[in-house]
Amino acid sequence: MIKAVIFDMDGLLIDSEPFWRMSQKNLFSKRGINLNENDFESFMGKRIDEVVAIIYSRFPNQDKTQEETAEEIVNGVIELVLERGLALSGVKKTLEDLKKQNYKIGLASSSNLRIIKAVLKKLDIESYFEVVHSAQFEEYGKPHPQIFITTAKMLGVPPSECLVLEDSFHGVIAALAANMKCVAIPDTKANNLARFVIADQVLKSMSDFDISSLNH
């Protein structure tokens, strides 16, 4: 029986993946580093410090530290969120429906907490979440399951009674590894959509989400 629903954020609540790509692309292109679509696809679901570490391993001679670079990217994303951020289809209705049905609602994102707060404020949805947790406070980010395990603990619900909504493949792996049910709502332009079949359910939009079909 599902008692709690845990949401990812980037690409699920808000179409922020383009903001991450723009911020990273702008910063690294100034340094003569050109990132492609395959790079961005592989970064989805990962923490920004992990992404920067990957890039630095490929291009080690940088003038700034990894921490400084990650901070610049985060600042760029926040600026774009506040300027252009919009809730994706079905988000507010789903949150409202879950609240009315007395489900515990949490958010578990790989994003920096500053970005999470900016998104929730911009979309005016912070009041729906009983728990908000960032992978920046975990030793490992997704696909490691710890962020979901910690969020379940903060909600006071066993992992087996939690359902995760995710858009990234790394996030789906993390949710399943945490012994939770998982509904995947991947970007329709993502590479290799077939791999999302490992989720309990795959949807095109959150507007299609119906918890009753999974709550047994």
Residue positions annotated with a catalytic role: 8, 10
Taking each helix axis from N to C end, the angle separating 66-84 and 113-123, rounded to the nearest 10 degrees, works out to 0
CA distance 182 to 146: 15
180-196: string of b/e by CB count within 10 Å (b at 16+)? bbbbbbbeeebeeeeeb
Tokens (6 digits) for 201: 């359910």
What CA–CA distance (Å, rounded) separates 64 from 70?
A: 10
CA distance 137 to 114: 12
Nearest-angstrom CA–CA distance, 131 and 156: 10
Enumerate residues 6+ apart whose C-beta is below 8 A from 83.
Answer: none
CA 105-107-113 angle, 5° bins:
145
CB 88 within 8 A of CB 111: no
